[in-house]
Structure 1
Amino acid sequence: MKNFEELLLKLENYLNEIEAPILNYLQEGTELFVEDSILEQLPIEVKLLYRWRNGTKLTEDTSLGKLWLFNFGVFLPIEQALTYYKEGINNLTKWDEGMFPLFASGGGEFYLIDCNKSSVNYGMIFHHSIGNIDFDIIITMYDSLNTFVNTIYQCYKEKAYYFSNIGGIEFDVEREKLISSALNPNSEYWKIY
């Protein structure tokens, strides 16, 4: 998984280069030693992602725009992700046991990775939104965690994501769509939008 680790480093180096305010909120990485059966099922890339950073430091006095790593996406610390996971599988309207939340919008939307090794979508990232009218609650959004991180990197490089003078992330949604659909051809989300 050296390529994935290199991609994370490339993203971090670029965020440092542009002095991205989000770096002030990303926590130090951690090893996943928590004893929970879902953690055993996580793809190796998820473990590497958390070794890189343990999500975003969540504070009540910071606006969501400063906490988003990408368009409406707060990187969940592993403890918070596990809490959301348990809440999600205990509520039948949310998601099944094979889905694990990595990111949240802060407004009820989640970005889940399929951890079910027998699933045809294993390793894909899903957008989960109960209130969305364009799709039925959950839809594939990124082809893999690798393409997800690469998509974020390319969106920063090509100015689809940038930071305002007060430190919040801004989006060029048309540019984001072009980049995301090109890098994630198997995901349904970008075909709708």
Structure 2
Amino acid sequence: MNELLEELESVLIESGNPILNNMDEDLHYKTKELIVEYFNNCDFNCLPELLDLYLWKTGCSHELLFNYRKTVESDSFTKLTTFGNYASYITATSLYINNLHSNVFYPKCCDNMLPFIFYGNFEYPIFLDMNPQSDTYKSLCLFCPPVTKSDKPVMMYDSLENWLKTVILCYKQKIYHIDERGALITNADAEYILSKEMNPKSPYWKIYV
């Protein structure tokens, strides 16, 4: 996992993506003990690969997850991937706990799933399945009924590692590149093809490719 994170950092530096300087929101709380404690508060065992990720970069701020301007300039929003940025561990676990008893943000089908990646709103995150009893355990699943036509999260990346490998290849193959404004520019068709190849268990890409 750490080799993947080193490779991701390398491609972000090479591409000149400014997101790299904005992915450590909880920098002053970056200890193994604190991260594990926050997940324990959710009754989750923190996955080793997730712990490695948060010890590398603790995730993005509320502003980079939710508060970008939805205008013609929104393509300049600082992003790690087409689908947005991953939340700081404090934000992700807090959202989970707030939703747990009221389902104010997400329905019951999203219980035992960590809201993980966001692109501008609360409603349609990519979740990380934290339930060891689930068929999609450790996978990343999109909850977005208007897109997936499903009232349940749909598996999008086979695992956290597969997500990272997919993102790294998107940068290496210039499917992602950064323009002069620092905006992430993507080739959607190429990304769908690559993502389908890299995540053969995930039905999401079969919808589009």
TM over 0.5: yes
RMSD: 2.3
- State the AA in 1 paired with 2:37: V
Match of 1:67 in 2: 78
2:14 to 17, 24, 30: 17
- State the AA in 2 paired with 1:77: S
171-180 or 21-30: bigger deviation: 21-30
Larger strand share, 1 or 2: 1
1:130–1:191: structure 2 CA closer, same or farther, 3 Å change rule?
closer
Note if contact 1:88-1:96 (Cα within 8 Å) is conserved in structure 2.
no
Note if contact 1:110-1:128 (Cα within 8 Å) is conserved in structure 2.
yes
133-142 or 8-17: bigger deviation: 133-142
Matched, 1:47 2:51: yes
1:112 to 127, 152, 155: 127
Match of 1:83 in 2: 94
53-62 or 72-81: bigger deviation: 53-62
1:49–1:174: structure 2 CA closer, same or farther, 3 Å change rule?
same
TM-score when normalising by structure 2: 0.81
- State the AA in 2 paired with 1:141: M
Structure 1, gaps ≥5 residues long: none
Query: Using the alignment, how far apart are the partners of 2:43 and 2:5 within structure 1?
Result: 20
Structure 2, gaps ≥5 residues long: none
1:158–1:98: structure 2 CA closer, same or farther, 3 Å change rule?
same
1:34–1:162: structure 2 CA closer, same or farther, 3 Å change rule?
same
Task: Report % sequence identity.
Answer: 28
Larger helix share, 1 or 2: 2
Question: What is the number of residues matched between the two proteins?
Answer: 190
90-99 or 12-21: bigger deviation: 90-99
- Give the 5 Å matches for 1:90-109: 90-91=102-103, 93=107, 95-107=109-121, 108-109=123-124
- Secondary structure of the residue aligned to 2:128 is strand
Matched, 1:189 2:204: yes
Query: Using the alignment, how far apart are the partners of 1:174 and 1:150 within structure 2?
Result: 18
